[in-house]
Amino acid sequence: MSVNQIMFILFASIIVIFSILTVSSKRILRSALYLLFVLVSTAGLYFMMNYNFLAAVQITLYAGGIVVLIIFSVLLTSRINDRFASVKPAKAISTVIVTAIGAFVSISSILQHNFVPAAGVEPISTDVKMVGMQLLGYGTNGYALPFEVISVLLLASMIGAIIIAKKKLD
Amino acid sequence: MNFSFYDFTGFTQSIDQALKASMSPFWAVTIELVLVGVSILAFYALLGLFLVYWERKVCAMMQNRLGPNRVGPRGFLQTIADLIKLLLKELIFIKNADKLLFNIAPFIVIIASFMAIAAIPFAKGLHAMDFDIGIFYILAVSSLGVVGILIGGWSSNNKYSLIGAMRSGAQIVSYELSVGLTLLSVVVLAGTMQLSEIVESQRDAWWIMKGHIPVWIAFVIFLIASTAETNRGPFDLAEAESELTAGFHTEYSGIKFAFFFLAEYMNMFIVASMATTVFLGGWMPLHFWGLTGFNEIMDFIPPFIWFFAKVFFVIFVMMWFKWTFPRLRIDQLLQLEWKYLLPLSLVNLLIIAFIAMMGWHF
């Protein structure tokens, strides 16, 4: 077994175990922490694929941004002794069945697919320069339009948030 | 084994080849990982001890006192004695705390700073990981530390800890923007995010000399914002001892408190080495245009001495801040960032992008 395989198994098992714990934990802040572990391990998978830029984006946006936001809102709203109510048995059993079917369908379709290593195809460079050129390029493979549309959307939501949060001046 | 203080590449490569020649690639890689990990860990602990001692000496100097002077020569062993005391102290468990989160929080803080230190170039070839996104990676992993502070403050089940954690969260999240924007201004000039290449681009002169006044402004903003990001005075509202006892780590005792303490000092080191690498030329010696004789004398000093001299200079400036400025209020703190530093660094970035586009920098 090579180092890469060991690392993959480590990351994959962290992702699986903590994903389940995230949805099954009864304390909301613990769920947030388990979610952090899942997101950081996903970044580890990107590092293994040598896609460093995406891994750093994953850590900054999801682990450093979204999880911090979730924790902030939990800190403002919940108390340390708060617990979720227990799930009714019927509901729990139906959830398990639905998840098992979903897992079976996706795993079996992945296992049946015959993966062949791509031959004669140049691997795409993933360094920051290429990513930046493509993101702001308007020729072939350029993403300038979606990029600008998303920035307008973000600006609109930012202004909306400020207007909602602003106190009435009277 | 060709060892030289000027270029560690040959030294590390000869270790790598010796390991690869004597065993299978799997074990060679594993042993290399362990070697790098242990050496970084030892460096981390020793440097932390030294910085605590130095901070106390600097503080004493600012306040016209002697500082630690009993244990060892000039009190040099004081922090080691303190460490032994902290190791022997009882770990107190809070009755109504969330035990898992309470115990895990110091580790998150310390792992975040430990991950960042691996990407810092200490000298030529003395660099654990050289990512093509170096600066971005350090920003990303150092933003993980705030999670540990927030969780530690909340799970202590104590109103002081909670207020301290909320303050520190708000502070770190907002000052991160200025830190990122000011680092980006040098990335625009250097044209790369890879730390080794940024250092290499300063071979003739450091960016602070080459980039005109905008880089000076960026450097000052970076110093202010990064002092705030490390939760140090005058921005230490998160642990403001006169109002919050000790802020987010009020309930921590023994070695867990020491972890928070150590992480604070190491974050200061990481921030100072970022300032060194990006603005002050990393391990490059001081060069002036035209002065060939002077430049050759400077070349004679080994790179890692240059690196640590610059880092300790920046750390000294940050300690100077702490012991001379009074603490800010939380509204003043957020106003400083959102109304002054952030607009200033945005405009500054624009000016630097224009300079880089016109090729006006040296």
- Of B170, B125, B128, the closest CA to residue B149 belongs to B170
Give residues with Cβ within 8 angstroms of B278, minimum separation 6. B135, B183, B186, B198, B207, B222
CA atoms within 13 A on the CB side of B303: 22
CB atoms within 10 A of CB B81: 14
State whether B29 and A3 contact (CB < 8 Å).
Answer: yes
| A82 touches B at CB < 8 Å | no
- Write the residue in A59, A75, A80 that is nearest to B144 by C-beta: A59
CA-CA distance, B362 to B359, in Å (whole number)? Answer: 8
Structure tokens belonging to residue B340: 């002054």
Res A157: pLDDT: 93
Q: How confident is the model at residue A12 (pLDDT cuts 50, 70, 90)?
A: very high
Strands (E), chain A: none
- Of A76, A68, A9, the closest CA to residue A35 belongs to A68
- Of B275, B268, B356, B360, the closest CA to residue B320 belongs to B268
Ordered by start, the domain boundaries in chain A are 1-82, 125-170
Q: How far is CA B6 from CA B3, B9, B11, B36, in A?
A: 9, 9, 11, 20
Fold of A1-82: Four Helix Bundle (Hemerythrin (Met), subunit A) (1.20.120)
Neighboring chain A residues of B147 at a CB cutoff of 8 Å: 33, 36, 63-64, 67-68, 71
ipTM > 0.85 (yes/no):
no
Show the DSSP H helices in chain B as ranges: 9-22, 25-62, 78-88, 99-117, 134-142, 145-155, 159-190, 195-200, 207-210, 212-229, 241-244, 254-278, 292-300, 303-324, 330-335, 342-358
**Average pLDDT of A103-118?**
87
3-state secondary structure of B267: helix
Residue B143 has phi, psi (to 5 degrees) of -75, -10
Using CA atoms of A52, A57, A58, A63 in order, give the dihedral in degrees to the nearest 10.
130
Considering only alpha carbons, which residue of chain B is nearest residue A74? B154
Residue B322 has phi, psi (to 5 degrees) of -60, -40
Ordered by start, the domain boundaries in chain B are 96-358
CB atoms within 10 A of CB B248: 32
Using CA atoms of A124, A128, A129, A132 in order, give the dihedral in degrees to the nearest 10.
100
CA-CA distance, A61 to A87, in Å (whole number)? Answer: 32
pLDDT tens column, A20-64: 888 888 888 888 889 989 999 999 898 888 888 888 888 888 888
H or E element in which residue A13 lies:
helix A3-24
| B351 touches A at CB < 8 Å | no
CA-CA distance, B292 to B243, in Å (whole number)? Answer: 56
| A35 touches B at CB < 8 Å | no
Question: A-contacting residues of B 151-210, CB under 8 Å?
Answer: 151, 153-155, 157, 162, 165-166, 169, 173, 193
B11 close to B126: Cβ distance less than 8 angstroms: no
3-state secondary structure of B355: helix
List beta partners, residue B123.
B126
Res A105: pLDDT: 94
CA-CA distance, B201 to B8, in Å (whole number)? Answer: 19
3-state secondary structure of A93: helix
B117 close to B39: Cβ distance less than 8 angstroms: no
Its pTM stands at 0.86
User: Residue with structure tokens 């009190």?
Assistant: B75
Neighboring chain A residues of B146 at a CB cutoff of 8 Å: 64, 68
**Average pLDDT of A143-152?**
90
Q: What is the pLDDT along chain B (362 residues), one digit of tens a residue?
A: 556 667 777 777 787 788 777 878 788 888 888 888 888 888 888 888 888 888 888 888 888 888 888 887 888 888 888 888 888 888 777 777 777 888 888 888 888 888 888 888 887 777 778 888 888 888 888 888 888 888 888 888 788 888 888 888 888 888 888 898 998 888 888 888 888 888 888 877 788 877 778 888 889 999 999 888 888 878 877 776 677 777 777 778 778 888 888 888 888 899 999 999 888 887 888 777 777 777 777 777 888 888 888 899 999 998 888 888 888 888 888 888 888 989 999 999 998 888 888 877 76
